Amino acid sequence: MKRLLIGSTMTALLCAGAVSANDSVLSDTSNVNQWAIQTGDYANTRYSKLNQINRHNVKRLQVAWTFSTGVLRGHEGSPLVIGDTMYVHTPFPNIVYALDLNNDGAIKWKYEPKQDPDVIPVMCCDTVNRGLAHADGTIFLHQADTTIVALDAASGDVKWTAVNGDPSIGETNTATVLPVKDKIIVGISGGEFGIQGHVTAYDIESGERLWRAFSQGPDDMLLFDENTTSLGKPVGENSSLDTWEGDQWKIGGGATWGWYSYDPDLNLFYYGSGNPSTWNPAQRPGDNRWSMTIFARDADTGVAKWVYQMTPHDEWDYDGINEMILTDQEIDGKMRPLLTHFDRNGLGYTLDRATGELLVAEKFDPVVNWTTGVDMDPDSETYGRPAVVAEYSTEQNGEDVNSTGICPAALGSKDQQPAAYSPRTELFYVPTNHVCMDYEPFRVSYTAGQPYVGATLAMYPAPDSHGGMGNFIAWDGKKGEIVWSLPEKFSVWSGALATAGDVVFYGTLEGHLKAVDARSGEELYKFKTPSGIIGNVMTYKHDGKQYVGILSGIGGWAGIGLAAGLTNPNDGLGAVGGYAALSNYTALGGQLTVFALPD
């Protein structure tokens, strides 16, 4: 369901004079030669204004140089480039390298944390890390064990550390952090271990904890107030507690391990919360607010201005943590600040990011079958709710039965792999999973620090389609429609990059870096890197030459079988069986590959 968005233009969200944002981040991201934040900019567009590499010459790309990380697990995220230095991270043990771009990538310094390896089995879906952040001359690393480390960007010396969670109860970290004003904002992983999800702000200079906002619980813990709304209506007192049975909210999940965006003009940051726990929906009756929710919070206070729960009482593990992409577009003749989100549940959403008004909710993979769509009537009692198809519910009359043929699978029509947006084409470029599942819940008891899942899954390619497990699509956010779609053998687990050269880059699980025409989707270039790609493509310019970089190293949820040596088809929460054929195409690795045009 949708409302028509008429016209579109990308407005500069990152004006250098904005007083509400971190000045160094604004300055760094406005320098087109750098890649200064994991998402490209505060708006999460993953767009670069560099155009030396374009759709006419990209076929001439060559490998310029490579760097081995020395770690053989899944490599998500991307390097940063600040000035003449590249900062590279690894999965656990979360090594950080500073590389000198003026000296053939020589290592300027290296930071290697000493973490307890006992954190590894507490990490749900591989030991990935989605990258570093930079602000005020400091590199920020959020380690797997939830230790936040502030490193001097020039020397690698530790400025301060802070502990954000407790791995003994299942709290770990896989995400980057968001520097905003005088704070860094961090999330937490552990929804499969029954944690209580939260976001936390720390002082950027000292590491002092300033505030914490939970995903569920009493409103004072959630940092809500009387002005907080959902779909234009006040959320009301005890907005979360009334939707949980007893104290289930205390172990209710709602982890916050995804991407964060920020609007300096509104001083709001945006993120999504994950699945409620357990995965057995019969054990947690109610809507389970505010899991599966888009949050807009004040960066100073943490108070929520608005929330929107996409999948109430989630029955399929459709985490809502994917990125929120901020654009300004014309709707009904009026420019409005928008937020676009491609959810695991298979629906692409557009909302007014100032008010939380829902404008578009459409399927971005046509095989999605668990819902017939979202009620878009503001006067309806079910406004904003998806209509669940009973056949694909995993809660069948209170009995634990194997529900089959559910699309998408638990890893969603898109997981955390971030999309890109080009203001030149006004299209979103979305890496997707074309995967379905069988889902059998079972009763599970909570024990701190032990898996709290309660379901067995089997995954497989969507039937009656191209037979592959992925597509790379161009999406029209005004119409809520697919413009073009490129089928892939496996899920596209790489973050996309759009450029002013009208080229879009992405990587494949087999290990190919691909470049396609931003307007037509025509494949223009591909190169096989040493291992499967789950990293995010980035670009920068040094000494007058544009470079494109990608981390390869198979792993993540889709590649957990290879990364962890698992063979039981039901392991990896069902992914091992679904992606068993990956071993025929790639092997473990950990390498940065950097490309450029020949001289």
Q: What percent of the chain has pLDDT over 90?
A: 91
Distance CA 67, CA 450 (A): 37
**pLDDT tens-place string over residues 448-499:** 999 999 999 999 999 988 889 999 999 998 889 999 999 999 999 999 999 9
282 pLDDT exceeds 60?
yes
Distance CA 272, CA 297 (A): 11
16 pLDDT exceeds 90?
no
Residue 337: what residue type? P
On whether the CB atoms of residues 300 and 309 are closer than 8 A, the answer is no
**pLDDT tens-place string over residues 315-333:** 999 999 999 999 998 888 8
Residue 397, number of CB atoms within 10 A of its CB: 7
Q: Which two tokens stand for residue 201?
A: 């702000």
The whole-angstrom distance between residue 599's C-alpha and the CA centroid of its chain comes to 36
Q: Which two tokens stand for residue 295?
A: 């949050």
Domains detected in the chain: 23-596 (2.140.10.10)
Q: What is the mean pLDDT of residues 279-284?
A: 96
Residue 4's pLDDT is 39
Q: Report the largest interatomic distance among the alpha carbons of the chain, rounded to a whole angstrom.
A: 67
- For the chain, give the mean pLDDT: 94
What amino acid positions are annotated as catalytic residues?
A: 317
10 pLDDT exceeds 80?
no
Residue 62, number of CB atoms within 10 A of its CB: 10
11 pLDDT exceeds 80?
no
Distance CA 542, CA 557 (A): 34
**pLDDT tens-place string over residues 234-278:** 998 889 999 999 999 999 999 999 999 999 999 999 999 999 999
Residue 21's pLDDT is 62
**pLDDT tens-place string over residues 61-118:** 999 999 999 999 999 999 999 999 999 999 999 999 999 999 999 999 999 999 999 9
Distance CA 58, CA 503 (A): 8
